[in-house]
Chains A and B, each alone.
Chain A
């Protein structure tokens, strides 16, 4: 997976968008809800023994007669986790490639911004991934890792989560949300205090499947089968059901306050970046 320099420069101008304040472990450039030493004034609180006397606001003491200390917001990095679905359902119509490309874009942006990044390619198990990557120097490692991500069959919830002990402030799930575990995927991966962005990768061919006649359809992930006679009416019902399913995913994200973005496999990557910059997306300009 290779991005040219122009595209890298474009990505350098972007930042992962976290709608909530997150506090990473390492200092960074993002405001944190924790008190820190940045220039952003956060508020006052009553003095408690042990506080640094340099933070006591003597003007307040003069007016109120009680000791208060001034607190400033801390600037931490963003700990982001990108989960890419490489299950068998993603092998259709270029969804897998598009998902890995989007993950590469987001990861590159995160590493360029100095955020801490973990990623995984998951199916029925965690097939590939990296932990606590930081800095532009890890971009090549990220891109290579995504390029070499394998292929799996099913979709396992546990395999998509961040590494143990990690509490990412932003989780990005790039998936087609197909398979029996897809519905629980969002609920499981949503961080307690962070954001989750669901990037729904779909292919236009899914709306117009090349299926006709008497067929026995087999689920690429579960191996389940169903017999069906596909005619125009069946195709119409299929399209209606598929649209309803996609809309249902969007509705569930909205209900849970999650960001949702549908990504078409036919959309060029730069256009996807543009769409990710829109409200509700996962990117923002610096």
Chain B
């Protein structure tokens, strides 16, 4: 038993004046009579009744003191137990799976609300979120105060360790910490974790890829769909990018996946979206996006000594009519440098620009990546990257080179063809100056004789001239849109300014722009762990709040009132009946 207002115990000091007043009221008035003998006879007859009166007086005094003690205790607000207070950490899982359509997030919020409303007044509550990072929603609050609602769940993971660590912050030394986790999965370290999930069927778009054939208005789309639920399920996949296409998803057993292919006419490019129709437990993984640039003929420039590069001229002629009309060949010099700056791709054949090159293909050029200082005769090709997109459709196993000056290896260079003396063909597809570089002149190899050269040229044009979107992002991942400066992002709802890294908030296509340049970024959810809709783990339900005990002050007040009433009754019994008003004896 603890007292919430112990200051009222000072009321017990009133027992002394109360007892004194009672005894004074019980004190007999002194009166003088002429003859006491007659009164003695009356008193003798009263003696048994007087004994009872003495007992009544004692009982009355005890009742009065008891009433005072009970009223004092009631005013001091005794609490029924002296158990230490509890600091309840309500940790909400804000990972994406909690946003399932079965309302598990709302159910968790409702359960927390009901739980908090029944807490004793001395307890405190704090809301924490276990998302990609653990965070607290406001400070500790007294039980009964309104709690902040947790964020809507859309994150890729739940940082339980961090959340439990955050839960320990600010716990009162005298209080017990108890963690209540509201999650649809098993939660380590939580005392209570009510089961909130009910739905188990879920399909997810695991992957989305597209490719535009050379100079084609159509794009080839492939989407991989996985059954992440626990029952067999089929659906319809909707593809859209200017045009629409519906692909049926055959029934998939739990854990199975399938890849669907389709072709969309998308000359203007845009947002390629793949959406699963039919509805399932989790909506966030039902769509995937990609940014498709519009079909645009590239402007190419070949710079070669004396304006002669027959191999490249032949390869570019094979690409027509998909090239810009301004494409052509030039001799090295300032004019060539200026024209190269305006071109989407410049082929520097045995020469190089005087200024910083843009997107380029270097052939035995000193302007490309760094090379060893001396030429190597007949370097033996030791390997080639058959899976690289630049070498798609090529077979360089029969490549021979008579003279070359190999490149120095560098981290930002993809080695496409390697030799014992060093890389002979390298590519840099990212960074401010993407390029493809050959360490040898075409005349010093049999590459022109192979059917590979036109393909290599086309692949280079395709990869180096296309708008380069950012690599696909997942929600919650950071992205640095531009190395420096302020940028503007448009997510479809309007432009917003920003600077520095940007965190992908949700699936979709976001277009960043800076200084006239723009780059789209496609964001997918694609998180198998969160898409997994397993049956709910057995819940560790919250202990029911004990039935609210009757506040002790209520029975104490009743006791005080009953004691006072009983004392009043005894006073009435004690009062002589029919007595005349006392007057002076004389």
Contacts and interface: CB of A to CB of B under 8 A. Distances in A.
A231 B576 contact: yes
Given A92-B585, A213-B582, A231-B576, A226 B40 contact: yes
Interface string B18-32: 000000001111111
A110 B579 CA distance: 46
A237 B26 contact: no
Contacts of B581: 210, 212
A213 B579 CA distance: 7
Interface stretch (B45-53, B191-199, B437-445): B45-53
B576 A92 contact: no
A211 B36 contact: no
Contact of A224 (B27, B31, B36): B36
Interface stretch (A8-16, A37-45, A215-223): A215-223
A216 B582 contact: no
A89 interface: yes
Nearest to A203: B34
A139 interface: no
Contact of A215 (B30, B37, B53, B584): B30
Given A213-B576, A215-B28, A228 B582 contact: no
B38 interface: yes
Contacts of A222: 36
B586 A234 contact: no
A213 B29 contact: yes
Q: Give the size category of B's interface with A.
A: 35 or more
A229 interface: yes
Interface stretch (A72-80, A112-120, A157-165, A238-246): A238-246
Contact of A231 (B39, B41, B578, B582): B578
Given A219-B36, A220-B34, A232 B42 contact: no
B30 A237 contact: no
A217 B36 contact: yes
Given A211-B582, A212-B581, A232-B577, A227 B34 contact: no
B174 interface: no
A209 B576 CA distance: 15
Contacts of B576: 212-214, 229-232, 234
B38 A228 contact: no
Contacts of B53: 229
Q: Which of B39, B40, B41, B583 has the most CB of A within 10 A?
A: B39
Given A92-B586, A214-B29, A241-B42, A226 B34 contact: no
Contacts of B34: 88-92, 95, 176, 178, 206, 220-221
A88 B34 CA distance: 7
Contacts of B575: 213
A93 interface: yes
B165 interface: no
B33 interface: yes
B49 A178 contact: no
A233 B575 CA distance: 13
Contacts of A228: 39, 42-43, 46, 50
A179 interface: yes
Nearest to A211: B31
Nearest to A205: B585
Contacts of B41: 237, 241
A212 B582 CA distance: 6
A224 to B, nearest CB: 5
B580 interface: yes
B35 interface: yes
A224 B39 CA distance: 11
A220 B35 CA distance: 7
A219 B585 CA distance: 12
Contacts of A209: 33, 585
A201 to B, nearest CB: 11
A241 B579 contact: no
Given A92-B585, A215-B29, A227-B28, A210 B580 contact: yes
Interface string A28-51: 000000000000000000000000
A149 B39 CA distance: 29
Given A232-B576, A245-B37, A218 B30 contact: yes
Interface in A175-199: 176, 178-179
A230 B33 contact: no
Contacts of B586: 91-93
A238 B30 contact: no
Contacts of A210: 580-585
Q: Which of B28, B31, B33, B34 has the most CB of A within 10 A?
A: B34
Contacts of A235: 578-580
A226 B585 CA distance: 16
A215 B31 contact: yes
Given A214-B26, A229-B53, A231-B576, A178 B42 contact: no
B38 A245 contact: yes
Nearest to A209: B33
Interface in B540-585: 575-585
Interface string A80-101: 0000000011111101000000
A90 B35 CA distance: 10
Q: Which of B27, B35, B43 has the most CB of A within 10 A?
A: B35
A234 B33 CA distance: 15
Contacts of B29: 213-216
Nearest to B581: A212
Contact of B50 (A217, A229, A232): A229
9 contacts: A89-B35, A91-B34, A92-B586, A210-B581, A212-B581, A214-B29, A219-B36, A234-B46, A237-B42
Interface of A: 88-93, 95, 176, 178-179, 206, 208-222, 224-235, 237-238, 241-242, 245
Given A89-B34, A95-B34, A178-B35, 13 more contacts: A89-B35, A214-B26, A214-B27, A215-B582, A217-B33, A219-B35, A225-B36, A228-B43, A229-B46, A231-B577, A232-B577, A234-B576, A245-B35
